[in-house]
A and B are shown apart, each in its own frame.
Chain A
Amino acid sequence: NAGVMQNPRHLVRRRGQEARLRCSPMKGHSHVYWYRQLPEEGLKFMVYLQKENIIDESGMPKERFSAEFPKEGPSILRIQQVVRGDSAAYFCASSSRDRGNEQFFGPGTRLTVL
């Protein structure tokens, strides 16, 4: 059973471009969480999604950031018009109610904004 997959692993964007980060949860998992880790910081929650639903987006910046988890395909975290402050590692985690809430983390996507 493959783990949580994220791609790309590294993404470089210039200011003003769009960044799309993908997360494929573990097989059978229908809950996806996105976290952001700024340099020398802990991970901070951004958004919690279930298939086709945003459950909690209290950690998402109000502008330029959006997330989706469609019925088919990976979850996408989209950042429009990136700025230097968006440079960070973005982690996805997935869980299934059957596994007692344990969240399994992907390897992360490191976004660098030039």
Chain B
Amino acid sequence: AQTVTQSQPEMSVQEAETVTLSCTYDTSENNYYLFWYKQPPSRQMILVIRQEAYKQQNATENRFSVNFQKAAKSFSLKISDSQLGDTAMYFCAFMKHDDKIIFGKGTRLHILP
């Protein structure tokens, strides 16, 4: 069975700083997808970034980028130039093709003014 582990329950950084959220996962699959979701106080699940396991290049979306290490089963999220609006819960997630999503327990991120 697949598992997703986020080892940082809570983090705080100053506005404009860079922060990295850690995620490791366990699977015997070779082809899969990895995601980072943001959940602000509104509780809406917002897809931040997505990575296909067969792609070696790390995904990037504006200030958000990932460090995908397939052999190490590691998938960290880097937020550059952090903004107050980045304050939220962040969930790392795993999905096989056409299957359910498995979420980590989340990291609560506070961006401090």
Contact = CB atoms under 8 A, between A and B. Distances in A.
Interface of A: 33, 35, 41-45, 48, 56, 59, 89, 91, 93, 97, 101-103, 105, 107-108, 110
Contacts of B102: 45
A101 to B, nearest CB: 6
B43 A103 contact: no
A56 B100 CA distance: 9
Q: Determine the interface band of chain B, counting residues with CB < 8 A from chain A.
A: 20 to 34
Nearest to A105: B45
Interface string B27-50: 000000100000000111101001
Interface of B: 4, 33, 42-45, 47, 50, 91, 95, 97-106
A102 B43 contact: no
A89 B39 CA distance: 12
Nearest to B96: A101
A101 B105 contact: no
